[in-house]
Every structure is written in C-alpha cells, then in structure tokens.
Amino acid sequence: MKWESDRRHLSPMKIALSTRSFQPPVIGGVDVYTDRLGRSLERRGEEVLYLAFNSSEEYGSEIQVRQDSFDGRRIWRCLFDFSRRPSDLYQLGYDPEMEENIHSILQAERPDLLIIMNFYMSTLAGVAAAKALNIPVVHIATDYLPVCRRATMIRWNARSCLVGESIKSCSECFVSERIPGRLAARTLNLLPEKALVSLAEAKDRNAIFLPLKALNPYWRQVNLMKRRLEVLDPLKREIDLVLAPTRYTARMFRENGFRDKQVEFLPFGVEGDSSLAKVKHEQADHLRFLFIGRLQPYKGAHLLVDAFNRLASPKNATLTIYGIQDGYDAYYEELITRIGRNDRIQFRGRIAAAELGEAFAEADYFVLPSTWHENSPLILLDALQSRTPVISSEIGGVTDLVKDGVNGLLFPMGNAEGLAAVMQKAIDHPELVDRFREQTKLPTIEAYVDKMLSLCRDRRLI
C-alpha cells in the first residue's frame, strides 16, 4: 500500500485515546477495543497515550488528575466519585470541570489527534477541550450517548426509540415510568414545542403561575432537554469525524444532529493472530448454548433463561452463562434464582479474556439476547472469530455481521418465544452448526487502522 511506504518517511504521530476505566485486567467492550486499537497504532510506530476516567467512593466529588502506567502504556487518569458529581451534567452530556482537567492534560501532551472512544464518564467535555487547542477529534461510536440521554436508544418502556432526541419525545420518555407523568406528557405534548418551552421557563420564574406539582417533573425535563440540545448541538459539530461500526449506528448519528459528511461506516476489526482464530471445537452428544456478558437487563440473560426453559424438546441441550453482577442487584439475584431452577443451566461467573477460547470451544452456539440495539459488541466478534455460530436478537448492532440462516439465526428483539423457537430449530437441526461456522470473514484491526488514518488524511486532520 502506497500509504505504508510513504509513512516510513514521516515522524511518528502522538495519538491520545480517551476511553473509559482502562484498568488491568482490561475488560468491557470499549476498553478492550481501545487496547486493541492502541496496540495496532504502536505497531505502526505511533506514540500512543491514554485518558481514562475512574470512579470510586474513595475519591471526592472534585476531579483529581493522576499519571499512571501499565504494560508500558502511559495513562492520564481523571479520578472522582461518579455518584457525587452533579447528575444534571451527565444528563446534559457536558461537564465544565471535566473540560478544564482534560484541557490541562491535552495542553501538557499536545497530541496530533484525539480519538474519543466513549463519552459516558467524561461527557463531551473532551471535544471542547481539544478544539480549544486546535486538536482534531475523532469519535469511535461505542454507544449512543451523544444522541440519547440514556445512551441506549431505548425508551422508558424498553422499546426502541424510533423518533430520536427532541424536547417533546425525551421529556415524555423521562417522566413516563409513572402513570401521572405519562398522562401529563400525553396531554402537554399536544401543544407546540415552543409553547412547552415558554411554559416551562415561566414555571421556573414564577411557581404560582403553574402551581400543579404533578407537572413539575415534566417541566424540569423540558428545561433540561432544551439546555442539553443547546449545549450538545455545537459540540457535535466540532467533532471532525465519527466512525460508526454498524450502519444502524451511522444512521442514528446522522438523524440526530450529525452531518452526513461527519459520519463514516467502519466495522470493527479483530486481531488477526488472536488465539480465538485457532479454536478447535469439541464434540458433544447434545447441543450447547453459551452466554457471555454483563448481567444487566439490556443484555437479556433473563430472556435467554426464560427461552431455554420454554424449549418444547430440549434433547439434553445445555446452557452455560458467564457474567458478573453489574449494578443491578435485584435483577442479579432474581436471575441467579431462576438459573438454579434448571440443572441444565450452569452459571460460571466471571470469565478471563484468556479463557474465552476454551468457552467457545465447548459451545455450539453463542447467544446474544440483547434487548437494545447494541453497537457491534466485541464479544460477538470474538464468537465469530472463533467460528462459533451465533443466535441473536435482530438488532442494529448485529445484522451487519450475522445473517439469518447463513452464519447464525436471528429472532425478534425482546421476544422469548421467538428465541425459544430458533433455539429449538438449532437443536432439531444439528447439521446447521458446521454450515454456519464457515460463513464469516472479519476485517483485521490493521485494516481498520489503515482506513481510519486514511479518512483522517482525506479530511486533513493529520
């Protein structure tokens, strides 16, 4: 490739990767992909540094900055207690104190490029900090936080959001979990948006003007959404390039405040020499289903357990679940209770990255029962790289990679009966496993980096 030969005559770039927690052992999709991307950039001879954001009760509400390192990587950490930070800042998607701290880091380092992998802990403060220093910004979209306050594109009733961000739709979404709020939103949303904003501002100025306390949560949401859109819209425009790993993600960004020319579809890449590519699947006299993921409602482990228990003719099929408790205590306890009622379901807790190959070797199907439009989950790439067929919800983050009846089976999102039906099909037709294993080819992380840097050059960012 011409670029590779030209690149040897140029000085190495300094590239900053802004991620999530980035602590050993590196787990979680965004940090795993950050690690993968950073290693590939380093193999090209680039200088890479990392920005990480760590929350703990031992830190106060104010942000502390500390330098750290592990495995030879330089890391700047912003340390704080997430629960003690002003919640509205995360609802707005912008934290001015975070901007000051990121600005100080970037000013000290002066990278040629800032790649932001995740906004959850940092908000869009990193964009403002980088642009104040004239540093180009690339965002690799790992969730939907810039276009959805919940970061999931899932509404209050667990259904996909089909309308995107607006004052009306989001105000309704955030008050509808309670019946009074739902009724208030349905009525008030009949008014023009400008009228709603005027009434909400009047409520702030004069409580006597709109005395009904039942409406207060709705007016708060109207004001918050107005402020969020006012703050985020200019910050969105400051991002030089958004790389979306799925077509669904690209569409969501384009439909919610990003210009067409800002957004490029670029599927995630895998390590070509990963041990997952060398997995040898063990044979068994029954079909084996596998789940690996965080034990939170949107990941759908409960749906999988429900579907497995509905199988009309399981024929000794088994289900193995790996996962950790992830902040949803009641959900976790209920899930463990339901798992314990079926002796053909095994719960094995946390799994180390080094053990993934063994888990896939002992599985016939990897099941991804997510109840939200995942953004190309890395565990899906791991399964496909190991040539483990996939059964998945038919969601935006999957359908670019998994084709129904070609390299896996799809079912309607959130539908336990639909999942049970495709699992039964897999059990009844064991010959499908070998056919599905041969149908997926994945891009490498090296090809991903080549394309990413090419897009940056085309836009004169580097």
Compare 2 and 402 and report the one with higher pLDDT.
402
Name every residue whose Cβ is closer than 8 Å to that of residue 142 and which is 6 or more positions away in sequence.
29, 30, 33, 117, 118, 245, 375
pLDDT at 426 over 70: yes
Percent of the chain with pLDDT over 90: 72
Residue 264 β-bridge partners: 243
Report residue 74 as tokens.
């330089």
Question: Integer distance in angstroms from the first to the last C-alpha of the chain?
Answer: 18
Distances (CA, A) of 4 to 37, 38, 449, 451: 17, 18, 12, 12
Report residue 372 as tokens.
């939200």
pLDDT at 306 over 70: yes
At 73 the three-state DSSP class reads strand
Distances (CA, A) of 251 to 46, 162, 164, 231, 399: 31, 12, 11, 22, 14
Lowest-confidence pick of 106-115, 126-135, 142-151, 228-237? 142-151
pTM value?
0.89
Q: Where are the beta strands (DSSP E) in 84-211?
A: 113-116, 137-140
Specify the pLDDT at position 324.
Answer: 85
pLDDT at 429 over 60: yes
Report residue 449 as tokens.
């980096």
Report residue 148 as tokens.
């959805």
Average pLDDT over every residue of 81-102: 93
Report residue 162 as tokens.
């089909």
Distance CA(119)–CA(98), nearest Å, equals 11
At 2 the three-state DSSP class reads helix
Contact 130, 104 (CB under 8 A): no
Distances (CA, A) of 270 to 86, 95, 275, 376: 38, 33, 11, 12
Average pLDDT over every residue of 99-123: 96
pLDDT at 375 over 90: no
Name every residue whose Cβ is closer than 8 Å to that of residue 461 and which is 6 or more positions away in sequence.
113, 136, 138, 240, 241
Specify the pLDDT at position 158.
Answer: 78
Specify the pLDDT at position 448.
Answer: 97
Q: How many helices (H) and strands (E) does the chain have?
A: 17, 14
Q: Phi and psi at residue 444, in whole multiples of 5°?
A: -90, 160
* pLDDT band for position 212 (cuts 50, 70, 90): low
Specify the pLDDT at position 2.
Answer: 38
* pLDDT band for position 207 (cuts 50, 70, 90): low
Specify the pLDDT at position 449.
Answer: 97
Closest CA relative to residue 90, chosen from 59, 57, 53, 120? 120
At 48 the three-state DSSP class reads strand
* pLDDT band for position 64 (cuts 50, 70, 90): very high
Report residue 177 as tokens.
């979990």
Backbone CA torsion sign across 289, 294, 295, 298: negative
What's the chain's average pLDDT? 91
Contact 136, 113 (CB under 8 A): yes
Closest CA relative to residue 318, chosen from 349, 285, 355, 351? 285
Report residue 34 as tokens.
């950050």
Residue 243 β-bridge partners: 140, 264
Closest CA relative to residue 243, chosen from 146, 395, 396, 138? 138
Average pLDDT over every residue of 32-55: 96
> Is the CATH number 3.30.360.10 carried by domain 2-152+233-271+444-458?
no
> Over the Cα atoms of the chain, what is R_g?
23
At 361 the three-state DSSP class reads helix
* pLDDT band for position 332 (cuts 50, 70, 90): very high
Average pLDDT over every residue of 344-353: 92
Specify the pLDDT at position 7.
Answer: 45
Place of tokens 């840097």: 453
Closest CA relative to residue 221, chosen from 85, 95, 88, 82? 88
Q: Where are the beta strands (DSSP E) in 260-317?
A: 263-265, 288-292
Residue 345 β-bridge partners: 319
Average pLDDT over every residue of 267-291: 93
Specify the pLDDT at position 9.
Answer: 39
Q: pLDDT tens-digit profile of 143-169?
A: 899 999 988 888 888 788 888 899 999
Contact 79, 64 (CB under 8 A): yes
* pLDDT band for position 8 (cuts 50, 70, 90): very low
Q: DSSP letter at 325?
A: B
Distance CA(116)–CA(94), nearest Å, equals 14
Q: pLDDT tens-digit profile of 171-189?
A: 999 999 888 889 889 888 8
pLDDT at 328 over 80: yes
* pLDDT band for position 388 (cuts 50, 70, 90): very high
Name every residue whose Cβ is closer than 8 Å to that of residue 429 and which is 6 or more positions away in sequence.
none
pLDDT at 251 over 70: yes
Specify the pLDDT at position 227.
Answer: 95
> Is the CATH number 3.40.50.880 carried by domain 275-437?
no
Ranges in the chain annotated CATH 3.40.50.2000: 2-152+233-271+444-458, 275-437
Specify the pLDDT at position 303.
Answer: 96
CA angle 312, 318, 319 (to 5 degrees): 105
* pLDDT band for position 3 (cuts 50, 70, 90): very low
